[in-house]
């Protein structure tokens, strides 16, 4: 009791002192993340850490709402030519970079060509041949072939318009402005303490009237998600985007002053799956891969292991995409069917009841969708005579080296759609992308001529209905061939302090501008 009294007294003293020394409250948003940006130039670097910052600092030609509909941003309007071989952008008048220099079509051209040459997502702008600039406010993107993915590629995360007068000199990879960026987005860069925090301030001359709402944004980096959750519970953090730990989500759902929402993130489309090395026997036989699909009780994984927090994943395209189809084989849990398929593949049980011994890897770091799922697979597959050895990697590079060099039988993996299949889906399945040593290429070594043909046709099909039909056939073939067993969509939630409104709930979630986020008055 005495201890409690002294603790309470200490707390009172600490809180009073903290209150005394705290600065006056402006409209500040403190965002918590575990992601550490290398730098802030989204034109040459991908990944959530950079995208999140880049979408605040730089503006892009278009932005998206929550229904996959493009909205004007730096481009007040745009037209796609009838033959699909050019897209014309009309820029807003009077827009300037943070240093006051007006944005012109030359900057758009420079940005697009820089992204094409340097961005890790090489397929994103591959068909772009040139950008014509008939006047300072008009940019015409010329394409070698129709490229329907281009409109999604013009989103804030993927196409930051960077000023040529700052990034145009020398090697862009070494440009100091990558760490002290100058853009035209809702917030200006102020300071970055590597691995600790970065600060952004309101862009008073933002080209959208009345935005942004916040005076200041501070992104605090807390490496450990448990600490991040604790800090959010205490009210130290106002918003946590990309919250994906099941226990973290469940814990914050119970917190008094915190709301948790899964709105947004549809285009990010992160899928969690078990991939097979399809060039290694017996996984070169689709029947074996299908058998593992039937032997896996996904309902147990989704409801028990992942607590109902994650959605089911049934195919290569994220379920909320307009190009996804439900009409695929669902691999409903059926042990007898699994055993029959294994018999058919010639894998009969030995004296110990074992048909097959294999290894399974997982990405270290996300235990709930990684280690827990493969541990479940290990015990579950024993029921059909498959003995799995779980191989733990101490860190990401170790895992990546194994998988990219095909030194695996099965592995858990999480891969992102990034909006359009051309950007994030094709790479896993097209046979020309089997590239040893490159992680998140076609490391399954899956090769199917029909799939290659369908993806090539869908990539240039401008009619949305016909395109969806091509992707539907692709999804049906890939799910039936089962180079990958789809488990769940990686749950992305935003946790935020009560009173915070207009959260980033578009298809890009928190990798879109936070210009409308505000405290309710």
Partner 1 sequence: MPRLVKKLASAIGLLLAVVVLNFLLIQLAPGDPVSVIVGEMGGASEDLIAQMRAEYGLDKPVWLQLLIYIGKICTGDFGFSYYFKQPVLDLILQRLPATILLVITALITAVILGTLMGIFSARKPKGVLSHFVTIFSLVGYAAPVFWTGLMLLIVFASIFPIFPVSGMMNVRGNATWYGAVFDVLHHLVLPAVTLASIYVATYSRLSRASMLDVLGSDYIRTARAKGLSERRVVFGHALRNGLIPVVTMIGLQFGQLFAGAVLVETVFNWPGLGRLAYESILRRDYPTLLGILFFSAILVMVANILTDLAYGKIDPRIGGRRRKKARPAGARP
| Residues β-bridged to residue 220 | 32, 197
Among the residue ranges 161-169, 173-181, 448-456, 496-504, the one whose residues contact partner 1 (CB under 8 A): 173-181
- Name residues contacting partner 1, limited to 197-216 (CB under 8 A): 197, 199
Establish if 255 lies at the interface with partner 1 (CB under 8 A): no
Q: What is the DSSP letter of 357?
A: E
Establish if 49 lies at the interface with partner 1 (CB under 8 A): yes
- Using CA atoms, how far residue 313 sits from 329, 470, 488, in Å, is 12, 20, 4
Q: Which is nearer to partner 1, 197 or 333 (CB)?
A: 197
Establish if 395 lies at the interface with partner 1 (CB under 8 A): yes
Q: Which is nearer to partner 1, 15 or 354 (CB)?
A: 15
- Using CA atoms, how far residue 222 sits from 45, 367, 491, in Å, is 21, 18, 20
Size of the site for partner 1 (CB under 8 A): 65
Q: Which is nearer to partner 1, 138 or 398 (CB)?
A: 398
DSSP string, 88-136: EEEEPTT-B-TTSPBP-HHHHHHHHHHHHHH-S-TTSSTTEEEEEEEET
Establish if 189 lies at the interface with partner 1 (CB under 8 A): no
Question: How far apart are CB 293 and partner 1 at their closest, in Å?
Answer: 25
Whole-angstrom distance, CA of residue 51 vs CA of residue 300: 34
Site string for partner 1, 101-120 (x = CB under 8 A): -----------------x-x
Among 1, 5, 22, 379, binds partner 1 (CB under 8 A): 22
Whole-angstrom distance, CA of residue 142 vs CA of residue 232: 47
Three-state helix/strand/coil letters over 461-505 = CCCHHHHHHHHHHHHHHHHHHCCEEEEEECCCEEEEECCEECCCC
Establish if 222 lies at the interface with partner 1 (CB under 8 A): yes
Establish if 257 lies at the interface with partner 1 (CB under 8 A): no
Q: Which is nearer to partner 1, 7 or 303 (CB)?
A: 7
Establish if 174 lies at the interface with partner 1 (CB under 8 A): yes
Establish if 253 lies at the interface with partner 1 (CB under 8 A): no
User: What are 171's two structure tokens?
Assistant: 């090697």
H or E segment at 2? helix 2-21
Whole-angstrom distance, CA of residue 79 vs CA of residue 59: 19
Question: How far apart are CB 51 and partner 1 at their closest, in Å?
Answer: 10
Establish if 45 lies at the interface with partner 1 (CB under 8 A): yes
Establish if 359 lies at the interface with partner 1 (CB under 8 A): no
Backbone phi and psi for residue 33, each to the nearest 5 degrees, phi listed first: -150, 155
Strands 410-416 and 484-489 turn out to be unpaired
Establish if 464 lies at the interface with partner 1 (CB under 8 A): no
Establish if 17 lies at the interface with partner 1 (CB under 8 A): yes
Whole-angstrom distance, CA of residue 325 vs CA of residue 307: 25
Among 190, 396, 464, 480, binds partner 1 (CB under 8 A): 396
Q: Which is nearer to partner 1, 223 or 353 (CB)?
A: 223
Establish if 231 lies at the interface with partner 1 (CB under 8 A): yes
Among 71, 79, 144, 223, binds partner 1 (CB under 8 A): 223
Establish if 28 lies at the interface with partner 1 (CB under 8 A): yes
Whole-angstrom distance, CA of residue 64 vs CA of residue 78: 14
Helix and strand numbers, DSSP H then E, in the chain: 16, 20
Establish if 418 lies at the interface with partner 1 (CB under 8 A): yes
Q: How many residues does the chain have?
A: 521
Q: Which is nearer to partner 1, 94 or 437 (CB)?
A: 437
Question: How far apart are CB 48 and partner 1 at their closest, in Å?
Answer: 9
Among 397, 432, 499, 502, binds partner 1 (CB under 8 A): 397
Question: How far apart are CB 291 and partner 1 at their closest, in Å?
Answer: 30
Q: What is the DSSP letter of 311?
A: P
Establish if 256 lies at the interface with partner 1 (CB under 8 A): no
Site string for partner 1, 116-145 (x = CB under 8 A): --x-xxx-----------------------
Which residue, among 23, 62, 57, 27, has the nearest Cα to 42 in the 3D structure? 57
Three-state helix/strand/coil letters over 392-453 = CCCCHHHHHHHHHCCCCCEEEEEEECCCCHHHHCHHHHCHHHCCCCCCCCCCCCCCCHHHHH
Q: How far is CA 399 from the centre of its chain?
A: 20
Whole-angstrom distance, CA of residue 492 vs CA of residue 366: 13
Q: What is the DSSP letter of 96?
A: B
Establish if 230 lies at the interface with partner 1 (CB under 8 A): yes
Under 8 Å CB-to-CB from 110, ≥6 apart: which residues? 162, 164, 167, 168
Establish if 179 lies at the interface with partner 1 (CB under 8 A): yes
Establish if 431 lies at the interface with partner 1 (CB under 8 A): no
Under 8 Å CB-to-CB from 137, ≥6 apart: which residues? 90, 91, 93, 104, 105
Establish if 304 lies at the interface with partner 1 (CB under 8 A): no
Among 111, 114, 178, 244, binds partner 1 (CB under 8 A): 178
Backbone phi and psi for residue 361, each to the nearest 5 degrees, phi listed first: -110, 170
Among the residue ranges 24-32, 72-80, 162-170, 325-333, the one whose residues contact partner 1 (CB under 8 A): 24-32
Q: Which is nearer to partner 1, 29 or 386 (CB)?
A: 29
Question: How far apart are CB 34 and partner 1 at their closest, in Å?
Answer: 10
Whole-angstrom distance, CA of residue 504 vs CA of residue 261: 11
* Residue carrying structure tokens 């992601």: 35
For partner 1, the binding residues (CB under 8 A) are: 7-8, 10-11, 14, 17-18, 20-24, 28, 30, 36, 38-39, 45-47, 49, 118, 120-122, 173-174, 178-179, 193-197, 199, 218, 220, 222-224, 227-228, 230-231, 233-234, 236, 395-398, 400-402, 404, 416, 418, 424, 427, 435, 437-441
């Amino acid at each position: 009791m005495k201890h409690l009294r002294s603790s309470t007294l200490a707390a009172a003293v600490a809180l009073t002192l903290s209150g005394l020394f705290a600065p006056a409250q402006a409209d500040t948003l403190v965002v918590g993340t575990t992601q550490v940006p290398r730098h802030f130039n989204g034109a040459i670097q991908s990944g959530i850490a950079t995208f999140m910052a880049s979408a605040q600092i730089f503006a892009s030609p278009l932005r998206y709402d929550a229904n996959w509909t493009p909205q004007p941003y730096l481009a007040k309007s745009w037209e796609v030519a009838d033959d699909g071989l050019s897209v014309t952008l009309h820029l807003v008048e009077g827009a300037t970079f943070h240093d006051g220099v007006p944005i012109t079509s030359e900057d758009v051209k420079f940005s697009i060509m820089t992204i094409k040459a340097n961005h890790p997502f090489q397929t994103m702008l591959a068909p772009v041949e040139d950008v014509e600039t008939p006047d300072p406010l008009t940019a015409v993107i010329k394409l070698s072939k129709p490229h329907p993915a281009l409109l999604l590629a013009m989103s804030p995360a993927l196409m930051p318009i960077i000023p040529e007068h700052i990034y145009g000199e020398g090697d862009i990879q070494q440009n100091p402005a990558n760490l002290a960026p100058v853009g035209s987005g809702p917030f200006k860069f102020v300071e970055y303490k590597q691995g600790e925090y970065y600060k952004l301030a309101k862009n008073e001359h933002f080209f959208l009237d009345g935005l942004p709402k916040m005076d200041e944004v501070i992104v605090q980096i807390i490496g450990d998600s448990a600490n991040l959750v604790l800090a959010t519970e205490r009210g130290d953090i106002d918003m946590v985007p990309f919250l994906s730990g099941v226990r973290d989500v469940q814990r914050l759902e119970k917190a008094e002053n915190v709301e948790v929402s899964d709105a947004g993130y549809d285009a990010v489309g992160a899928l969690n799956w078990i991939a097979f090395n399809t060039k290694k026997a017996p996984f070169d036989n689709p029947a074996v891969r299908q058998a593992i699909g039937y032997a896996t009780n996904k309902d147990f994984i989704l409801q028990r292991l992942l607590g109902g927090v994650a959605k089911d994943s049934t195919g290569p395209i994220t379920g909320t995409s307009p190009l996804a189809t439900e009409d695929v084989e669902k691999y409903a849990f059926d042990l007898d069917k699994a055993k029959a398929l294994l018999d058919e593949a010639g894998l009969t049980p030995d004296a110990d009841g074992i048909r097959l011994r294999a290894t399974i890897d997982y990405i270290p770091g996300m235990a709930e969708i990684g280690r827990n799922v493969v541990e479940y697979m290990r015990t579950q597959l024993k029921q059909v005579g498959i003995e799995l050895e779980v191989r733990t990697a101490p860190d990401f590079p170790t895992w990546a080296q194994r998988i990219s060099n095909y030194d695996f039988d099965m592995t858990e993996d999480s891969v992102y759609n990034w909006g359009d299949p051309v950007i994030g889906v094709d790479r896993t399945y097209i046979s020309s992308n089997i590239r040893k040593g490159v992680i998140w290429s076609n490391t399954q070594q899956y090769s199917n001529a029909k799939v290659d043909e369908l993806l090539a046709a869908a990539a240039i099909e401008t009619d949305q209905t016909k395109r969806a039909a091509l992707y539907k056939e692709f999804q049906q073939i890939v799910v039936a061939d089962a180079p990958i067993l789809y488990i769940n969509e990686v749950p992305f939630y935003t946790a935020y302090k009560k009173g915070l409104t207009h959260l980033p709930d578009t298809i890009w979630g928190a990798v879109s501008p936070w210009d409308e986020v505000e405290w309710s008055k």
